[in-house]
Amino acid sequence: MQLAGFPFQVIDWGQIAPTTHPGAPGTATWRTITAGTARVRLVEYSPGYVADHWCAKGHVVLVLDGELISEQQDGSRATLTAGQVYVVADGDGAHRSHSPRGARLFIVD
C-alpha cells in the first residue's frame, strides 16, 4: 500500500456521505476517502452482518466498537473486539467478515 496523494487533512466523518453495501445477510455502511489506489474508511456493520464475498485485498483493520470475526477461506477464524487490529497483505489468503452483534471499524486499504 502506498499512501501517495493524501495531503494532510482532518477528516470529519459526519461530512462524508455514507454508501450502503449489502451483506448476506446484513449491511455495511461505508464512509470513504480515496486517493490514488488507497482508501481510508469508517465502516459500520449491522448486527448479523456476513460479507457476501471472499476478499483478497490487503487491509489494516482497527475495531472501534463491537465484535468482528474475520474468517479465512482455509477455515480459520479470528475474533476481534474494540481496540484490536488485524493486518493482511494483498493476496495473502482470501478472507471475509462476520459481525454477530454489529461493529464499527477504521480500515486503511
Residue 29 lies inside a defined structural domain of this protein: yes
DSSP string across 7-68: -S----GGGSPPEEEE-SSSEEEEEEEEETTEEEEEEEEPTTEE-SS-B-S-EEEEEEEEEE
pLDDT of amino acid 93: 84
Residue 7 lies inside a defined structural domain of this protein: no
Query: pLDDT for 81-96, tens place per residue?
Result: 999 999 999 999 899 9
d(CA 36, CA 4): 7
Q: How far is CA 58 from CA 39, 46, 66, 96, 108, in A?
A: 11, 23, 22, 12, 9
Q: Which of 32, 40, 56 is nearest to 3 (CA)?
A: 40
Q: What is the pTM for the complete model shown?
A: 0.93
Domain count, the chain: 1
Query: pLDDT for 49-108, tens place per residue?
Result: 999 999 999 999 999 999 999 999 999 999 999 999 999 999 998 999 999 999 999 999
pLDDT of amino acid 6: 82
Residue 24 lies inside a defined structural domain of this protein: yes
Residue 14 lies inside a defined structural domain of this protein: no
CATH number at residue 80: 2.60.120.10
d(CA 80, CA 62): 9
Residue 68 lies inside a defined structural domain of this protein: yes
Residue 41 lies inside a defined structural domain of this protein: yes
| Residue 39: domain span | 20-108
